[in-house]
Structure 1
Amino acid sequence: MRCFMQISGYSVIHLNVNGQEVSVMIKPSHTLLYVLREKLSLTGAKSGCNNGDCGACTVLIDDMPVKSCLMLAVEAVGHKITTIEGLENAAIQEAFVRNWGFQCGYCTSGFLMVCHALTKYNPHADDTIIEEWLQSNLCRCTGYEEIENAVKSIITNHIEV
């Protein structure tokens, strides 16, 4: 379903963000990260590398992690977008706090989104699967052990995601 109309180089698109339908006027070249941050004031997804390497911009598209700097906003039409602002009271958030899974915090929202999806889709993930999923994001403060411990605390305690 194409949900946009053309207005002098801009398009009005309709997105489902954190369970709410929103309309936003964009240029066809706008990334989802740009639209979330600059048009919708959802600043949890961070602009790090802008080429898909760091994962600070990770959001969930239909409950799967996607680097929003690599996705055009128009590609998100018809999909469910969840940002860190929409991840309310998720078990992984508490696990990050309990296990000190953050340092400077810049990468934290991206890691939370990846780890939330990991614990949802792989509730019995072993060390290899956890390591594979965590490779999609970078922590410049090297807080990987604490992040991994947070994920393992959810998996080993069979906490409902």
Structure 2
Amino acid sequence: MDSDRFDTRAGFQARLEDCLSRSRMTLAMFDPDFGWWELGSIGNDALLRAFLRHGGRLKLVAHSNARLERDAPRFLRLLQDYSHLVECRLTNGSIGHLTDSFCIGDSHHLVRRFHCDHFRGEAIFHAPSSTQSLLERYQSIWAETRPGLQAGVTGL
């Protein structure tokens, strides 16, 4: 198990890129709005496209899609190109108070910010036992969602 902590935006981005590049089958992500994730950056777009090209499945849950729609045109193109492998969901009001932020890759890798307004967090790689409780929480969050961002809805 590889584990380390971070407390900067650059630290978070580096660990997120590690998680994206290590994952092969599934990426499960939660953030209130994915505003700091840079999902539309050139580097993350390339990593996500490689992941999806090989049949990976991407699942995102957010409270709001506004920042992705406004700030991530590459991600919107990716959603259009791989709509059969990407699912974006929105939370119901009952869980709108959640403020942490995380990405789970292949049930083995984890990048987590303890609060969405701060970059303090941890990354854990090659540790399925360390991701299990957060994966169960993600599944509970997923159960409280409705369809969100879709290629057709964005006007693409």
Higher relative CO (Cα under 8 Å, sequence separation at least 6) belongs to 2
Bin for the TM-score computed over the shorter chain: under 0.3
TM-score w.r.t. length of structure 2: 0.26
Higher strand share: 2
Rg (Cα) greater in structure: 1
